[in-house]
Amino acid sequence: MLDQKKSVISWAMYDWANSAFATTVMAGFFPIFFKEYWADPNLPQQSTFYLGMANSLASIIVAALAPFLGAVADRGSAKKKFLFFFAFLGVVMTGSLYMVAQGHWMQAVIFYVAATVGFSGGNIFYDSLITGVSSEKKMDFTSTLGFGLGYIGGGLLFLLNVLMFQFPAFFGISGKVMAIKLSFLSVAIWWAVFSIPLFLFVKEPKAEKGVPLFQAVVEGWQQLIGTLRDIRHLKVVGLFLLAYWFYIDGVDTIIRMAVDYGKSLGFDSGALIAALLMVQFIAFPAAILYGLFSMRIGTKKAIMIAICAYTLITLLAFFMTQKWHFFALAACIGLFQGGIQALSRSLFALIIPANKSAQFFGFFNMLGKFAVVFGPVMMGVITILTENVRYGILSVTVLFVAGGFLLSKVNIEEGKRVAKEYL
């Protein structure tokens, strides 16, 4: 029992580790720094387009690799090896942002894309390890624990980074520019250090017919084709993945573009950073409580409620004019953000064959990343065409409506029954 608890906590600590990238870099300082320091601050619509394209390029790379890498990891019992590779890539590239000089937006994009590939690619194998550390009964709790620790861990470092940004002299830092650069460096160190428990204490289940890594690469292609066949027969899985493709696109687009949206409306950086920091500390208890809430009403219903909430939030964002509006909507996002992500992961884990978890989570992450290819580009293109960023954010509501409709057709009990037959 103690070993299992240690495994669960060590697994969840990776969320604590890499969420610093999602908060400080992806959602927080990178969009602001990119708009004001690396890109031309006099062309905000252009930098919105560049940022959307950068997020989409990273997503294309991960999406293209995800299902193949998952299949290879299952065949070679190599989930932790691949996780280490992508985490290392993310850590090094995040730290490299410290060195990018003013006006060098293309170099910043290259490092950011590579770091995002490390972040997203690592999550494929981190997610897939959940089936080895948690029982079916505690899947929702384990998944929400990870997201909860991610929000509090990422939030704590982000709080420190915000204080460094607001009061650089107190920390002996020369100015706000250096404070942000040091924040990128601190994320790299945080990510590396707090990833260690997973690699030490989480045991990866061995494949029944494990093969050497090189042979696993060869057989991975064959298994990839087999996965496509499996998904064709596992119709519940296929329908859920399609629903997930739509609604998680909306969630991720808001995460990555919200600060840029606020900047385009003329809100000051300090207020936007404070609102984002507030989201982290609301999302920590909210993710845990939402997991308990799902145990009462069911995982699918809980996700549906979160989708409806996101739809309303996005509609209200179109009419946002005051700074307090941004804070109010950020608080609402904090209530549902961790829940919809964690419960989607745990629900998917319940309807797939456990012995093929990495390859199926490869598809899960592939669709999530392909979705993010579409969302930011859609927002960026509509902003450019209409010359109004409000229409860009309004377009995101379509994704939530489509995702919610498709999810309503998913039969979870049937999916669990068929998944067990595939073992």
* Predicted local distance difference test score (pLDDT) of residue 221: 65
CB-side exposure of 128: number of CA atoms within 13 Å? 35
| pLDDT given at position 87 | 96
Instruction: Give the chain's end-to-end CA distance (angstroms, integer).
Output: 25
Residue 197: its pLDDT value, please? 93
Rounded Cα distance between 214 and 224, Å, is: 16
Q: pLDDT value at position 277?
A: 81
**What distance in Å separates the CA atoms of residue 254 and residue 396, rounded to the nearest whole number?**
8
How much is the pTM? 0.72
- What angle (nearest 5°) sits at the alpha carbon of residue 276, between those of residues 181 and 139? 105
Closest to 320 measured CA to CA, from 364, 248, 263: 263
**Residues composing the chain:** 423
Vertex 193: Cα angle to 188 and 198 (nearest 5): 120
Q: Would you put residue 266 in left (φ > 0), alpha (ψ -120 to 50) or beta?
A: left
Closest CA to 161 of 222, 209, 98: 98
Phi, psi of 43 (to 5 degrees): -125, 70
Q: Provide the pLDDT for residue 373.
A: 66
Domain ranges in the chain are 2-421
Look at residue 114 in the predicted model and tell me its pLDDT: 93
Count of beta carbons in the 10 Å neighbourhood of residue 114: 18
- Letter string b/e over residues 50-78, b meaning 16 or more CB atoms within 10 A of that residue's CB: bbbbbbbbbbbbbbebbbbbbbbbbbbbb
Rounded distance, CA 299 to CA 349, Å?
A: 12
Measured distance CA(415)–CA(40) in Å, rounded: 50
Distance between CA atoms of residues 59 and 23, nearest Å: 18
Residue 31's Cβ-side half-sphere holds a number of Cα atoms within 13 Å equal to 32
CB 220 within 8 A of CB 66: no
Class of domain 2-421: mainly alpha
Closest residue by Cα to residue 154 from 333, 12, 38, 35:
12
Q: With H, G, I as helix, E, B as strand and everything else as coil, classify residue 157.
A: helix
pLDDT at 186: 97
Tokens of 158: 């982000």
Q: Please give the Cα distance from 357 to 71 (Å, whole number).
A: 9
Q: What is the pLDDT of residue 199?
A: 92
Q: Which residues of the chain have pLDDT under 70?
A: 1-3, 43-45, 66-68, 70-77, 136, 206-224, 226-227, 358-359, 362-363, 365-373, 421-423
